[in-house]
Amino acid sequence: MGTRISALMRPLVVLVLFLGIPLSALAQAPASAPVDPVAAPVVPETTDSKLIQSVTFSPVVAFAGADLRVIVRVTPDAGNRRLQLSVDAPTFYASTERQLDGVEGARAHTFAVHQLPAGDYQIVATLEGSSGIRSRVTRSFKVMGEDETALEPDVRPTRGRRRGRSD
């Protein structure tokens, strides 16, 4: 399914290139300030920053219990140190990180998350450097399923009389 998403995005990318809009303006959400600005200062993002090229996931439509595959594409850069990925929902949280090798680092990083319960999710990919957060991209998706609180046990009504002959 990831290939189909890319194929659907091609006309948008071509249109964006003709209009002169930077792709990062479409792909990146603004970075929020960290809790401790001394420990991890935020490097302001610029409109020409393409450090995180894309965040794609499959399946696009998922049901409760599904496994999710997330692919984060990063531009190799000397300042890249760590890539963090978090998957967050009201009843589920998963987080992982990868050390990056700067210019020699891989472009595509694949992450897997298993057995997702139903809910609304946010995927946040954060690229960090030696001076703090360099880029952050957020994606949202929904895992469909039944609300467990709405499920009730199947209760059969009891009858006062038994069926059959009575003596």
User: Could you report the per-residue pLDDT of 83-124, keeping only the tens digit for each?
Assistant: 999 999 999 999 999 999 889 989 999 999 999 999 999 999
**For position 2, what pLDDT does the model report?**
42
From the list 32, 18, 77, the residue with the least C-alpha distance to 52 is 77
pTM: 0.59
From the list 60, 55, 57, the residue with the least C-alpha distance to 143 is 60
Percentage of the chain beyond pLDDT 70 is: 58
| Distance (Å) of CA 33 to CA 116, 123, 152 | 29, 18, 44
Q: Please report which helix (H) or strand (E) contains residue 27, including its range.
A: helix 23-27
> What residues does each domain of the chain span?
2-30+42-146
**For position 61, what pLDDT does the model report?**
87
pLDDT at residue 45 is higher than 80: no
**For position 16, what pLDDT does the model report?**
37
Q: With bands split at pLDDT 50, 70 and 90, how would you rate the model's confidence at 130?
A: confident
Instruction: Look at domain 2-30+42-146 and name its CATH class.
Output: mainly beta
Both tokens of 46, joined, read 């610029």
pLDDT at residue 46 is higher than 80: no
Average pLDDT, the chain: 73
Q: What is the mean pLDDT of residues 61-69?
A: 93
Q: With bands split at pLDDT 50, 70 and 90, how would you rate the model's confidence at 163?
A: low
**For position 119, what pLDDT does the model report?**
93
Strand partners, 57: 70
